[in-house]
């Protein structure tokens, strides 16, 4: 009987350690690629450059979040994407609150500041900063698989709306693999995907 009870407790701990829908402390990094449809890069360059065909930019990203106290958390993100003569980099920082939290389902909201810096060869860089707000749903779809669906609004000169889908495949209590998709619209379509790793902590 004692052996059965011990086995049950151990299996429960393993299961709990791979459920991260209610965990808002992590750091992740990896590869990100964005396809800008024709004309969609113009606002990033203050309309001084306009891609007349679809263009792919790729680079690295860094994503971090930390539960500060109770249901309050802070978040940060940065990436750089480049292709020969064009670069579009971004960073953001904000604070959020978890409206609903459980091991299987959580609803966070957050607001903060986002910055874009774009540059091309032989042209001065263009920098813009604005506020953003984000709402999401984190759901534990299955053991070791968490899905984070989000919507983000950015108050840049041409407002930007982004839908994000992030999959985290948790391989243990700390380490996980990340595969994500983003669909954004500012003046035209922007489609991104990312592949990376994530480390969750208490």
184 vs 193: CA distance, rounded Å? 11
Q: Which residue has the tokens 């930390």?
A: 66
187 vs 173: CA distance, rounded Å? 41
DSSP state of 37: P
Query: Token pair for residue 178?
Result: 């990340």
Chain center to CA of 81:
15
Considering the segment(s) 2-200 as one domain, its CATH architecture is: Beta Barrel (2.40)
| Sequence spans of domains, the chain | 2-200
- What is the longest distance spanned by two Cα atoms in the chain? 75
60 vs 77: CA distance, rounded Å? 11
DSSP state of 53: S
Other CB atoms within a 10 A radius of the CB of residue 189 amount to: 15
Average predicted confidence (pLDDT) for the chain: 90
Identify the residue with better confidence: 15 or 18: 18
Q: Which of 200, 178, 24, 169 is nearest to 108 (CA)?
A: 24
Which pLDDT value is given to residue 18?
67
9 has a pLDDT exceeding 70:
no
Which pLDDT value is given to residue 74?
98
152 vs 159: CA distance, rounded Å? 11
Which pLDDT value is given to residue 97?
98
Chain segment 18-46, per-residue pLDDT in tens? 678 999 999 999 999 999 999 999 999 99
Chain segment 99-120, per-residue pLDDT in tens? 999 989 999 999 999 999 999 8
Chain segment 115-140, per-residue pLDDT in tens? 999 998 878 899 999 999 999 999 99
Query: Token pair for residue 96?
Result: 């959020």
Chain segment 57-69, per-residue pLDDT in tens? 999 999 999 999 9
The reported pTM is 0.87
């Amino acid at each position: 009987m004692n052996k059965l009870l011990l086995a049950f407790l151990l299996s429960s701990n393993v299961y709990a350690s791979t459920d991260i829908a209610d965990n808002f402390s992590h750091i992740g990094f990896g590869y990100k690629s964005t396809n800008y449809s024709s004309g969609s890069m113009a606002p990033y360059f203050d309309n001084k450059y306009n891609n007349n065909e679809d263009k792919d930019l790729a680079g690295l990203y860094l994503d971090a979040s930390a539960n500060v106290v109770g249901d309050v958390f802070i978040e940060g993100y940065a990436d750089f994407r480049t292709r020969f003569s064009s670069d579009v980099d971004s960073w953001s920082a904000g604070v959020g609150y978890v409206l609903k939290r459980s091991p299987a389902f959580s609803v966070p909201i957050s607001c903060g500041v986002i910055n874009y810096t774009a540059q091309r060869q032989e042209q001065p860089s263009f920098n813009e900063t604005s506020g953003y707000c984000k709402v999401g749903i984190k759901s534990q779809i299955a053991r070791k698989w968490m899905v984070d669906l989000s919507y983000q609004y950015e108050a840049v000169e041409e407002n930007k709306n982004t839908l994000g889908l992030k999959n985290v495949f948790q391989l243990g209590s700390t380490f996980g693999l990340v595969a994500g998709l983003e669909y954004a619209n500012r003046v035209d379509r922007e489609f991104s995907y990312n592949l990376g790793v994530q480390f969750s902590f208490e």
